[in-house]
Chains A and B, each alone.
Chain A
Amino acid sequence: MTNERRRIQPRSMNSLFFLFSTGAWVSAALVLRSKNPVHSVFYLVLTFLHASGLLLLQGLEFFALLQLLVYIGALAIMFLFVVMLLDIPATEIVAHQRGTYPVAGLLFLTLLIAIFGVLWQPMEKSPFVTPLLPEVASLPKETFLETSWQAASTAHSPLAQLGVALYGVHVDLLLLASLLLLVAMMGAVALTLKRRVHAPLHDVFVQHSVDFQKVVSKVQA
């Protein structure tokens, strides 16, 4: 990839940023507002797509692809499965939402304070400096590569370097992570695959409301 191809005009960069960030905000708001939970998940997918676009603008192409693969391909699908399994009637959702307004208001206030702190830095020297608009991620016109390792660090794309790191240097951690997934798979099947007659249904609410003292006296009698 030559430097010329990578140079993007600042003006289009800004408009793309505005487009993606506004789209992400709107999609997130629609997630909260839609009455149908399946629609909420669809808008969540849209939010992830916009976030992926923002990552591309930052120059993190591997992260953007990973976002599409993991967040949309795995997480959003899982959300969809859970929503479809739960079978929540829409009127129930609306009824429960009213009680959460105070908590949501408190969290919104916290968010406002955080945004204020981020944008107008009250302290003189702060490690968390965030400009209001992002700086354009453009490469310098010529980079003078002094040492061999500087040349090596830009010779391969970040994706290739990540591949070498994940599958070459830290393959033992990759194998351990795969064993972790094996545990998760085995656990899910072992805990849930059984005939209903073998597993009694536990009423958790009743169990939590049981008075311990009465239970103990029952056993002793």
Chain B
Amino acid sequence: MEEYNSGDELYLCVFQCIEGVIGGTDYNQSKVNQWTASIVEQSLAHLVKQGRPLKYMVNCTIMQKSGAGLHTANSCYWDTTTDGCCTVRWENRTMYCVVSVFVVALAL
């Protein structure tokens, strides 16, 4: 991706958003709706604040740990010199959280 240091900067930003929302909590069916919404909104707000000419898509999935298998994949049709993505996988004792951020440059 363009000079954007997506690797670490973006990963840390999203990781901190996840920790801030669900760090230290157990899976709770009545709250998980609020958690996913908060994680995507806070991540997006942090990214937009940077004021770069970019479009963002943030996707968050939270799954209860019960032995079930979960698999995710993504595929992108874009300009590989200017666009990119980053996926953060987080877990605690009771749940998995996977957040994907896609960054697309504005064609000027």
Our verdict on whether A and B bind, yes or no, reads: no
| B-binding residues in A (CB < 8 A) | none
